[in-house]
Amino acid sequence: EPEVTQTPSHQVTQMGQEVILRCVPISNHLYFYWYRQILGQKVEFLVSFYNNEISEKSEIFDDQFSVERPDGSNFTLKIRSTKLEDSAMYFCASHSPLGGYYGYTFGSGTRLTVV
Amino acid sequence: GIQVEQSPPDLILQEGANSTLRCNFSDSVNNLQWFHQNPWGQLINLFYIPSGTKQNGRLSATTVATERYSLLYISSSQTTDSGVYFCAAHVQQNTPLVFGKGTRLSVIA
């Protein structure tokens, strides 16, 4: 079964540093997403990406965040200057309406710890 | 936007018992999914079920779209079923999937 791959699985960074979280969505999917889950809380939407541009973003997705699809396979989330409150699990997801719609597929997540 | 509510928030079961988890949503949905978050934090997709009933082993799910709720049934629970179960829904394919707060299930041997 096709998978969404995320790297790294765990990253520790110092406050104020930039981090890039990487995702490889399923190859024939067209819509890509980043979600965040602070420890013990619900999974929250950050941003959606379609046709090489942001299609929707939440209030959480402020100027310190950016997304990019630098090539045909990778999808990245950059946090420019990390804060302690950015510590969370970050999930990438993708889906495609082509050939039938079967819901979102989520990656295994990147646990980000800001110290 | 759509609201997704799950109940109960916490559930403790003896191994072998059956359980029902509920998900209510505030609007007609195009997609509804059930996920299991394991102890490592991974979100495991259980069911894509915007309507009807599906079964996979000891798990089954039913969504009654007209009444805006979905149920996840776990039969003969095992300790490996422990974790948090999330329901998530959206009204259109290209809108973000909205998650409920989850049900934390603990199965005791």
Q: pLDDT per residue over A100-111, tens digit each?
A: 667 889 999 999
Q: Is B74 helix (H, G, I), strand (E, B) or coil?
A: strand
Show Cβ contacts of residue A108 under 8 Å, excluding neighbours closer than 6 positions: A5, A6, A9, B40, B41, B42, B43
Can you spell out the DSSP letters for A38-81? -TTS--EEEEEEETTEEEEE-TT--TTEEEE--SSS-EEEEESS
DSSP B30: S
Show Cβ contacts of residue B99 under 8 Å, excluding neighbours closer than 6 positions: A35, A42, A43, A44, B4, B86, B87, B88
Spell out which residues of chain B touch residue A38, defining contact as CB-CB under 8 Å: none
pLDDT for B1 equals 85
What average pLDDT does range B33-40 have in this prediction? Answer: 92
Residue A98 reports pLDDT greater than 70: no
Percent of chain B clearing pLDDT 70 (strictly above):
100
Higher pLDDT, A1 or B40: B40
Length of chain A: 115
What is the helix, strand, coil percentage profile of chain B, to 5?
5, 55, 40
Q: Do B97 and A55 touch (CB under 8 A)?
A: no
Q: How far apart are CA B25 and CA A16, in angstroms?
A: 39
pLDDT for A6 equals 97
Q: How far apart are CA A65 and CA A104, in angstroms?
A: 22
Q: Do B97 and A104 touch (CB under 8 A)?
A: yes
Which residue matches tokens 């049900």?
Answer: B103
pLDDT-derived band at A99, boundaries 50, 70, 90: low
Give whole-number Cα distances, A103 to A21, A100, B102, in Å.
Answer: 23, 9, 18
Spell out which residues of chain B touch residue A58, defining contact as CB-CB under 8 Å: 96
